[in-house]
């Protein structure tokens, strides 16, 4: 559908992204899902078309990009119906912004060009075995010892956790609560760091890990921002992450809609195509209605962000709107496919398995409601 928010530049990038996904991802999505990983060379290919650099400073290899360019990137990636590939390929969009925003100049110059060129992989490590979105309650400890910090603790459910060369890690450098939280850049070959691969319901092609820090020495220069300022940086990061997830989830819902329409036109039951049965037509219209509503809300929020607003409550609600739309459309698409929808290999089946990770990651649906209500003064 036409939208007033996209320019010729956005459309040109959409064409580049579409060709990239059709050539480099879609033909291999099922194979990579079954293998539990995708080739590391995909990062370099993504960097070559400018995907990895979107929104990062040009001096480090980034490319200026507004909210709508980022929506284009997320939604074109989703066309492959491979959430695991999207999650790990783009893990730097949550791992590297704190570096770009608050790390020392020499750290930025050393790390960001490697990540944005696809040479190195960046990941974010916040969640711990004892708590998810309760960032203020994290337990991983970083004790200052001369020109180093000594880090002890664990992080879990870390996207790109097994392969990441650079880990942006939330640690406790001070007392209890948000004021004691800091961010450290920990390199993947740091002594004392070990990793355990995790098996998941969905996102099979994305490596996910638990990280174990056993008295890891980390140079003090790798502190991101000031001590005790990590919580604020993390919260800024969450808003961007949630917008990206909302864009992707809305697009995954549209993939389910498109797949369902194509199948309903082709598949015949009781002497006529599925699409000629009223109950199927109604399902498809319900799907289309929810996708259109979610896309409209997403684009209006993106416009408000471009105007300098910070609509935190609406971003929280947007994430829920998008994940609920994805859940509805994935379920209805599998239902329309019938037995074929239960078989591995089609996009709708993969997306159906990936619904819950989106409703949990970046803040659960319940937390989004609570944050939104607080922003509304309730």
Domains 122-230 and 232-376 belong to one CATH topology: no
Region 40-51: mean pLDDT is 98
- With tokens 């928010």, the residue in question is 5
pLDDT at 214 over 90: yes
**What topology does CATH give the domain 232-376?**
Butyryl-CoA Dehydrogenase, subunit A; domain 3 (1.20.140)
Contacts 24+ apart (CB under 8 A), 213-216: 213/140, 213/151, 213/152, 213/153, 213/154, 213/155, 213/169, 213/186, 214/152, 215/150, 215/151, 215/152, 216/150, 216/151, 216/152, 216/186, 216/190, 216/191, 216/192
What pLDDT, on a 0 to 100 scale, did the predictor assign at position 62?
98
In this structure, what token pair is assigned to residue 47? 């960097």
Q: Which helix (H) or strand (E) holds 155?
A: strand 148-159
The residues spanned by each domain of the chain are: 8-117, 122-230, 232-376
Residues marked as catalytic: 241
- Provide the pLDDT for residue 236: 87
pLDDT band at 286 (very low <50, low <70, confident <90, very high): very high
- Relative to beta strand 181-187, strand 166-172 is antiparallel
CATH topology of domain 122-230: Butyryl-CoA Dehydrogenase, subunit A; domain 2 (2.40.110)
**What is the CATH number that goes with domain 8-117?**
1.10.540.10
When pLDDT is cut at 50, 70 and 90, the band that residue 135 belongs to is: confident
**pLDDT > 90 fraction of the chain, expressed in percent and rounded:** 95
With beta carbons less than 8 A apart as the criterion, state whether 188 and 159 touch: no
In whole angstroms, give the CA distance from residue 128 to residue 104.
Answer: 26
Q: Is the pLDDT of residue 131 over 90?
A: no
pLDDT for the residue 270? 94
Could you tell me which residues are beta bridge partners of residue 153?
Answer: 213
End-to-end alpha carbon distance in the chain: 37
Q: What is the mean pLDDT of the chain?
A: 96
pLDDT in tens, 71-119: 999 999 999 999 999 999 999 999 999 999 999 999 999 999 999 999 9
215-267 pLDDT, tens per residue? 999 999 999 999 999 999 998 888 899 999 999 999 999 999 999 999 999 99
Q: What pLDDT does 132 receive?
A: 66
196 pairs with which residues across the strands? 210
pLDDT tens digits, residue range 148-187?
Answer: 999 999 999 999 999 999 999 999 999 999 999 999 999 9
Find out whether 47 and 217 touch, Cβ atoms under 8 Å: no
**pLDDT beyond 70 at 130:** yes
Assess whether pLDDT exceeds 90 at residue 136. no
What token pair was written down for 246? Answer: 């909302």
pLDDT of residue 1: 63
The secondary element (H helix, E strand) that includes residue 234 is: helix 230-266
At 12-42, the pLDDT tens digits run 999 999 999 999 999 999 999 999 999 999 9
Residue given tokens 């996207």 in the structure block: 159
Residues 6+ apart with CB under 8 A from 211: 125, 154, 155, 156, 158, 161, 167, 169, 193, 194, 195
Whether the predicted pLDDT of 54 surpasses 90: yes
Parallel, antiparallel, or unpaired: how do β-strands 141-145 and 148-159 relate? Answer: antiparallel
Output the pLDDT for position 93: 97
pLDDT tens per residue, range 302-323: 999 999 999 999 999 999 999 9
| Residue 134: per-residue pLDDT | 78
Kindly report, residue by residue over 327-362, the tens digit of the pLDDT.
999 999 999 999 999 999 999 999 999 999 999 999
The CA distance from 352 to 338, in Å, is 13
Q: Which residues are 167's β-sheet partners?
A: 123, 186
């Amino acid at each position: 559908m036409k939208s007033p928010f996209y320019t010729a530049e956005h459309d040109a990038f959409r064409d580049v992204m579409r060709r990239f996904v059709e050539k480099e991802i879609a033909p291999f999505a099922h194979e990579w899902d079954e293998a539990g990983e995708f080739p590391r060379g995909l990062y370099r290919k993504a960097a070559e078309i400018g995907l990895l650099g979107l929104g990062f400073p040009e001096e480090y290899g980034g490319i200026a990009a507004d909210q709508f360019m980022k929506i284009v990137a997320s939604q074109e990636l989703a066309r492959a119906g491979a959430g695991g590939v999207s999650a790990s390929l783009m893990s730097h969009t949550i791992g590297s912004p704190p570096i770009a925003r608050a790390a020392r100049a020499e750290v930025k110059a050393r790390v960001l060009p490697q990540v944005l060129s696809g040479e190195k992989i960046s990941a974010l490590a916040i969640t711990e075995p004892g708590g998810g979105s309760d960032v203020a309650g994290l337990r991983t400890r970083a004790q200052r010892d001369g020109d180093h910090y000594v880090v002890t603790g664990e992080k879990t459910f870390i996207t790109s956790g097994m392969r990441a060369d650079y880990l942006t890690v939330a640690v406790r450098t001070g007392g209890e609560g948000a004021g004691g939280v800091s961010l450290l850049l920990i390199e993947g070959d740091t002594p004392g760091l070990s990793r355990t691969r995790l098996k998941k319901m969905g996102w099979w092609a994305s490596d996910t890990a638990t990280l174990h820090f056993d008295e890891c020495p980390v140079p003090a220069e790798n502190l991101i921002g000031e001590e005790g300022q990590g919580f604020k940086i993390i919260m800024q990061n969450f808003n961007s992450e949630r917008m990206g997830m909302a864009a992707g989830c809305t697009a995954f819902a549209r993939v389910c809609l498109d797949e369902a329409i194509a199948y309903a036109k082709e598949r015949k039951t009781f002497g006529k195509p599925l699409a000629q049965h009223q109950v199927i037509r109604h399902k498809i219209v319900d799907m289309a209605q929810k996708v259109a509503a979610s896309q409209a809300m997403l684009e209006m929020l993106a416009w408000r962000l471009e105007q300098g607003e910070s609509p935190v409550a609406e971003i929280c609600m947007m994430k829920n709107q998008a994940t609920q739309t994805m859940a509805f459309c994935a379920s209805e698409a599998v239902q329309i496919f019938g037995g074929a929808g239960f078989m591995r290999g089609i996009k709708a089946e993969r997306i159906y398995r990936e619904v819950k990770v989106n409703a949990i990651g970046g803040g659960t649906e319940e937390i989004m409601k609570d944050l939104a209500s607080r922003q509304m003064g309730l």
